[in-house]
Structure 1
Amino acid sequence: MFIAPINTDLLLKEAEQEMLYQQLILQLNKDFNLANEGIDFPMSILPEELKIQLHEKIYRMIQYKFAEYLNLLYIIDVSEDQIKKLDGSDLVILAEDVAFLILKREWQKVWFRNKYK
């Protein structure tokens, strides 16, 4: 049964432990490119750096490319209910929370694909 980690650090740690961290990076790159938001995280990126770069990307998208941001959430299939529950009063915190939701959904895809291949 899939149980999502409760924060970004635990999620990335679990992905590494399951030897699926590289697959998570591939999934992120794939879905960002599907949304025409070219991002190319190198396979060698460290988890902490991935967390920072993803947060910055989401922050910039919320500020400057809102329609593309919504499209990205749709393509990745982030729960609309979860997005609506977030506090949008601080953009930095909002971007961090959304980055976690994106990672959580991408991790779920990778985990299920690996489990049931």
Structure 2
Amino acid sequence: METPSNFNQLIEEANGLQLYQSLVKQLNKDFLYANIDLDFAEDILPESLKLLLHETVYKLIQEKFAEYLNLLYIIDVSEEVIKQLDGSDTLQLAEQVSFLILKREWQKVWFRNEYS
């Protein structure tokens, strides 16, 4: 599996393998486990998904940092990679973390599809 390097590449790959809805379901499942009140519609447009996820991560960083950390733990985003990000601009940080979340969720969906 070649890891996508940007949002568009990730969505293209998910759509190409007809796994976009599975990606959205995985996001919903992990957000539910993290006790974060966010439920993406399965037919959400990719751009809307990106914006809503970015907005949610931004609010979590700003207002509910413990829940933000819990979400990263549940999704299993690499702590090492998070520490390498520049946290001086919270908006940019939220965008980068949103992509890392989508990338990790995509890995889960891809592996489940590939090896089940």
**TM-score class, shorter:** over 0.9
TM-score scaled by length of structure 1:
0.97
Partner of residue 44, structure 1:
43
Partner of residue 68, structure 1:
67
CA distance in 2, matches of 1:87, 1:9: 22
Stretches of structure 1 that go unaligned for 5 or more consecutive residues are none
CA distance in 1, matches of 2:17, 2:87: 33
CA distance in 2, matches of 1:39, 1:29: 7
Equivalent residue letter for 1:63: Q
- 1:34-93 deviations in Å (ceiling 9; x for gaps): 000021100110001100000000000000000000000000000000000100010110
Partner of residue 22, structure 2:
23
Stretches of structure 2 that go unaligned for 5 or more consecutive residues are none
SS at match of 1:103: helix
User: 2:76 aligned with 1:77, yes or no?
Assistant: yes
TM-score scaled by length of structure 2:
0.98
**% identical equivalent positions:** 64
| Divergent runs of 4+, >4 A | none
CA distance in 2, matches of 1:60, 1:38: 12
CA distance in 2, matches of 1:93, 1:9: 17
CA distance in 2, matches of 1:94, 1:13: 23
User: 2:29 aligned with 1:33, yes or no?
Assistant: no
Partner of residue 101, structure 2:
102
Partner of residue 91, structure 1:
90
Partner of residue 7, structure 2:
8
CA distance in 2, matches of 1:21, 1:38: 21
CA distance in 2, matches of 1:17, 1:38: 29
Equivalent residue letter for 1:21: Y
